[in-house]
Amino acid sequence: MTEYLASWNVGPAKSAILGFVETSTAKGPGFVDVADRIATFDNDGTMWVEQPAPPQADFLVRVWAKALKDDPSLGTRQPWKAIIEHDEAFFQGLATQDPEVVASIEGAVATTWAGTTPDVFDAQVREWVQTVKQPKFDVGYTSLVYQPMLEVFDLLKANDFRVFLCSGGGRDFMRVFVEETMGLYKEAVIGSSSAYEYKDGKIVRTDQMLGGLSLGSGKPEHIYAQTGRLPVFAGGNADVDIEMLETARFSLLLVHDDDEREFAYTASAEKAVAKAKQLGWTLVSMKDDWSTIFAH
């Protein structure tokens, strides 16, 4: 397996990943049936940059700022009010799952695209992918996918694992560009989901969600719904990934400790790091374990 994980430095994390995959595919006590080989990965901060804000938040804020220009009366309500007032604390309430913030953003997402066909949303996301640049790196967000994580996908796929992305954010947002950026089909994306109806020969978005938010206990719930299983291998980076990581046999927790090449932060990941140490999850140091950060 020496041809895999080329961007991983020799060290305990690389050894643990290779060791687990070898054990789970070789005859012996650690063998995992091919059918059970499900691997799930959180998205923001696990597969790509989530600072200074999750990419989808950047997308939504731009869509809503534009809507405000067309209809200033929106500005009396959240989340449009927070956009006008540059209220960053409000949007950070999404990461900490402040119920008021989550509800207002869910509500705004619901009304923004209700009654439209998927091509409307898809076109807006594609335009965002092609034009918006992440402030620190001055490139599009999809150029900031972690190369070492894609190499974990390659290793797992080569060993008959089926790899799924389990985003806390919107399933449909990631499905627009996941095929070209992460090499996964749309059906491999799990996440918080809008409900759709089939009407007059067309798929149309409703103002409802299908299931709850894919955060915390919502992650295993969405994974079980999509796959009929819980993961054998899981990767995450934050407290909202704990439940998913708990369900897996091998759990990887990415630590953002490389302020030079990416970002260094521990906010919203303190409990996950404590759990990792307690339960023996594999901690991955971006700084020490990765020789390359980005895929493009």
- Residue 193, amino acid: S
* Nearer to a second copy (CB atom), residue 75 or residue 118: 118
> For the purposes of burial, counting CB atoms within 10 Å of the CB of 206, is it exposed (0-12), middle (13-18) or buried (19 or more)?
middle
Question: Are 163 and 188 in contact, with CB atoms under 8 Å apart?
Answer: yes
Min dist CB 200 to a second copy, Å, is: 10
| Residues of this chain that bind a second copy (CB under 8 A) | 35, 38, 118, 162, 171-172, 175, 179, 185-187, 189, 193, 195-199, 201, 203, 210-211, 217-221, 224-230, 243, 246-247
Min dist CB 279 to a second copy, Å, is: 12
Min dist CB 257 to a second copy, Å, is: 29
* Nearer to a second copy (CB atom), residue 197 or residue 259: 197
Distance CA(13)–CA(291), nearest Å, equals: 13
* Nearer to a second copy (CB atom), residue 94 or residue 184: 184
Distance CA(232)–CA(106), nearest Å, equals: 31
Min dist CB 235 to a second copy, Å, is: 18
Distance CA(166)–CA(225), nearest Å, equals: 12
Min dist CB 224 to a second copy, Å, is: 5
Q: Which residues contact 296 (CB under 8 A, 6 or more apart)?
A: 139, 142, 143, 145
* Nearer to a second copy (CB atom), residue 7 or residue 142: 142
Min dist CB 276 to a second copy, Å, is: 17
* Nearer to a second copy (CB atom), residue 31 or residue 185: 185
> For the purposes of burial, counting CB atoms within 10 Å of the CB of 277, is it exposed (0-12), middle (13-18) or buried (19 or more)?
exposed
Buried b (16+ CB within 10 A) or exposed e, 39-74: bbbbbbbbbbbbbebbbbbbbbbbbbeebbeeeeeb
* Nearer to a second copy (CB atom), residue 203 or residue 267: 203
- Residue 291, amino acid: S
* Nearer to a second copy (CB atom), residue 45 or residue 231: 231
Choose among 244, 70, 236, 49: nearest CA to 147.
49
H or E element in which residue 124 lies: helix 118-131
